[in-house]
Structures are given as C-alpha cells and as structure tokens.
Amino acid sequence: GVPPELAVRWVRQALVGLDYCHRMNVLHRDLTPGNIFLNSPDHALIGDFGIATNLDVDGTAPSAGNQRCRAPEGFRGRLTTRSELFSAGATLWRLLTGSWPYNATNEDELARAMFAEDRPRLRDAAPHVHRSIAAVVETALDPDPSARPVDASDMARLLAECRTHPRNWVRVEAQSTGLAYEATAGRSPLVLDVRFDGVRRAIE
C-alpha cells in the first residue's frame, strides 16, 4: 500500500470528480486504482470514461466495470451513484493494503463473499491505518447501498475529517513469522514487529 494520507487524498479528490459526474447524470462504472491519474503526488483526477454511461430516469444504469471494485448489487441488478461509493471504498482498500478486500476465483464466489455477514476488516489487513479511515472504508463497502454514505460529496467530507497517525508505516519483510512495519516519518527511526502466537499478537 501507499501512505494513508496519500491514499485518502487521492480517493477524496476522485470523489469530488465523481460528485460532478453524478450531478451531470453520468455514472463512471469503472472507478479503480488504475483509473485514478496523478498530475502530482498531491493532485488526483478520474480518467478512462470508456464505459461511462448516463443514468436512466430511475437513477440506475446497467452493470459494468472491474468485478473487484463492482458493488454487490451490480452482480444481481443495476448500478446507482451509491454503487460507485462501494467502488471508491474498494479502491481505497487496495491503495492502503496492496490487496483487494475480497478474494475469489470467479464472479459467483465474489458476489457471495460480498453479501456474507462476516465482512473483512481493514485494520486486519492494515493495522497501521487509523480507525477513522477504516470506518469510512467499511461503511462504503456495506452490501446495503442505503447504509453507505449519502453521495460522493458526503464520502469525500467523511474522508477529509479522518485522522492519520503521526508516522507513516510501510510493511517490510519480517525477520520472523508475522508482520513488520517501518516508520517512514517521525523524529526517530522505528520498526514494529508483530509476531503471532495462536490468537495472540506480540508487538516489539
């Protein structure tokens, strides 16, 4: 993953772009990490409108786009503007962790995983990410569209209010079985080693 403050900034700026699209009655349908383009490390834009489409009179559009970022309702029906908030959540998860929230070998498995009650937790995959960020991401990934943020501008506002830790933690190769993180900012170097002993974790 990339430092949380950068990942949050890029997705928040992408959401500003999405909000404009939605107000213009356009659904992007393919918001992924690969479709966020950087003018600079501080400035992100949405790109690749190849499968974008207009919303119909009911505010829906046919399903399309990368299945890893597609909202679960897109596997069984049509997409709405709130479907793109799920895509933003999946995109932010990928940027923060370097992996996808759901692993599956085909669309049926992916859809079942998205609708399952036992949903993945961001801090299990990236414990260095602040709880406020994890809360927004997990809300965006709710299988119930009505439980997600109201719209793209609302999700952008929620991300703007999130906190990050004073140190930027980057995962490095662990010296033992477990996880290791190195701080890339702060007044002194620090490495955090997480070792697993059954269900317990020991931190050095």
Name the catalytic one among 19, 30, 142, 151. 30
Q: Residue 41 to residues 20, 172, 187: CA-CA distances in angstroms?
A: 22, 22, 23
111 sits in which H/E element = helix 107-115
Burial class (CB in 10 A: 0-12, 13-18, 19+), 134: buried
Cα-based distances in Å from 18 to 13, 22, 82, 83:
9, 6, 11, 11
**Does residue 19 have an active-site annotation?**
no
Q: Residue 168: CA atoms inside 13 Å, Cβ hemisphere, count? A: 11
Q: Give the type of residue at 60.
A: T
Distance separating the N- and C-terminal Cα atoms of the chain: 22
In the chain, % helix, strand, coil (3-state, to 5) comes to 40, 20, 45
Element (H, E) at 194: strand 191-197
Token pair 């009911």: residue = 58
Active site amino acids: 30
